[in-house]
Chains A and B, each alone.
Chain A
């Protein structure tokens, strides 16, 4: 369970690095928020969502996209959609 969750987090972190052009040295964990990442605004958020959907082959629901408090909540949302499929 825990190892699988880490794998989702790692893939999310990789999409974030590509989207926000972050070097490897930037740490991304479950507590990371938009305030921690330079350039993460409402427009680049759209590119992140697109990248996540492509990476995981799923569609995220509109009503959840704006109330995600941190990366951990995004990871949990992805896992809950995967579980439902």
Chain B
């Protein structure tokens, strides 16, 4: 079975069933499976007309409209390999956005880009000799309906062909395209649906962008392949008014939702205080993509307990694009297990029960492996460690990616002997996986990955800051429950720290679309070095948390 065949059979058996409801600016547009299929075929016809061949790469760069779905599925029907890419954020300078894509385009050589007229002119203005063919998305494409009788190239794909690429988030030029086959996607969605008891009567509400595995696989692909209803909100609108998700859950009686950890807190912080929503239809809200926190769940249940949310409604999954999506999942019929561990032994790499009187830390379980998936925890020599010992998490599974697109070396680094080395740290207790952090310098901000060294490279060019004498660190903010980035930088004596702080924030915002929290300007020589002479991110972060630095950004340090 391929995705194209699955879509065709869904169309034949459920043409009048609602596939998705798009909500934007308070308006809802319901689309049936029949309409979804015919409109996707219209895109497939356009792609074929433009000479797209099986295996060609198509990038979809669109805002929140149903054309996201039509063009993506149309590309699969045409036998091409689609990939959703983030839309330029309003705060990012268009010129820098496209200039950053130039390197990526050279490497991955897209055959076609689906976007808007305005983006096309920005791209042409920013990239010299921009010559990638584009298809301008819009309702005009739908005016030429796709013919269900035509055997588009997608119907002769093999289940082991690459169906799509999922690009990692973070710095554009370094994006890795995770290659996923039809078989891996269809089998993972089926196995995961069994793990969460997801069936034809279920439905999903989502505000998540589609260029990220949670929005793409857990919400979009699960709905498309299982034939269930997806209520899709605009990510930008959700950010400003997060309670529109609760309105959608109430109005459409949706049963499942996936959220990153910060989103639970954002909803609690920003939903109107007097608001009440009937959430009694919700079976599970699943937290993934960041280390989950017990306090986050407790606050959410306190706020929405009266709306029908119970502790067992809130569940956890450990997921990644390299395994299509879920690696592990908690049991959706009971509250998630929380391990209370001895803080002392934990910091030395062992998970042991806390003493009743001693300092303790709580780690939330990510549950058991999904059927077919094997999880191991390794030491630095890739030898499995016993239960309760913290090491790197490695995954073997029938759903694993086949590699990173046109990056054979990166693939060999991570994918060895059928095992994927995740770069995440954690431990196993009684068959359940607990995730504790990252090995590398990745900082996850609101579900997006940024690399400390990329941020530091930008800071290096700010006047009055000493080049190579800065570190970017992720700091958890107790109030928003989100991680924010703080830059510690040594500066010259004549540095106007206020001005430098603004310049650093402005440059990182323009280049990466990331709003860092603040710059901490330090006298020369203040940052701690490792024994090999490099500035240590870990030690300086520790010092930052322990000592009250004076920040330029007027932070009160909390």
| Chain A residue nearest to B482 in the complex (CB) | A43
Does the CB pair A66–B90 fall under 8 Å?
yes
- Give the A interface residue count (CB, 8 A): 27
The answer to whether A35 and B509 have CB atoms under 8 Å apart is yes
Of B25, B239, B518, B552, the contact of A45 (CB 8 Å cutoff): B239
A43 to chain B, nearest CB (A): 6
A48 to B: closest C-beta gap in Å: 10
In B454-504, the 8 Å CB interface with A consists of 480, 482, 484, 501-502
For the complex, is B554 an interface residue (Cβ under 8 Å from A)? yes
Bound Cα distance from A62 to B241, whole angstroms: 9
A22 to B518, CA, bound (A): 13
Interface size counted on chain B using CB atoms at 8 A: 33
**Which residue of chain A is the closest to B518 with respect to CB atoms?**
A38
| Segment at the A interface, from B170-178, B222-230, B262-270 | B262-270
A21 and B556 contact, Cβ closer than 8 Å, known pairs A35-B509, A38-B501, A43-B239: yes
- Known contacts A50-B270, A66-B90, A38 near B553 by CB under 8 Å: yes
Q: Smallest Cβ distance from B272 to chain A, in angstroms? A: 8
Contact present for B241 and A46 (CB under 8 Å): yes
Cβ of A10 to closest chain B Cβ, rounded Å:
18
- How many contacting A-B pairs (Cβ < 8 A)? 74
Q: For the complex, is A23 an interface residue (Cβ under 8 Å from B)?
A: yes
Are B239 and A38 neighbours in the complex by a CB distance under 8 Å? no
B270 touches A38 (CB 8 A): no
Cα A22 to Cα B553 in complex, Å, equals: 9
What is the CB-to-nearest-CB distance from B201 to chain A, in angstroms, rounded to a whole number?
32
A37 to B328, CA, bound (A): 40
From A35, A41, A62, contact of B240 by CB (8 A): A62
B502 x A36 contact (CB < 8 A): yes
Interface residues of A (CB under 8 A from B): 21-23, 25-26, 33-47, 49-50, 62-63, 65-67
Top 8 nearest A-B pairs (CB, nearest first) are A38-B553, A41-B515, A35-B506, A38-B518, A66-B90, A35-B505, A46-B240, A46-B270
Residues of B within 8 A of A (CB): 25, 89-91, 236-237, 239-242, 262, 266, 269-270, 446, 480, 482, 484, 501-502, 505-506, 509, 515, 517-518, 551-556, 558
New A-B pairs, 14, CB < 8 Å, besides A37-B553, A39-B555, A40-B515: A25-B554, A34-B505, A35-B502, A37-B554, A38-B505, A42-B239, A43-B446, A44-B480, A46-B239, A47-B269, A47-B270, A49-B240, A62-B237, A66-B89
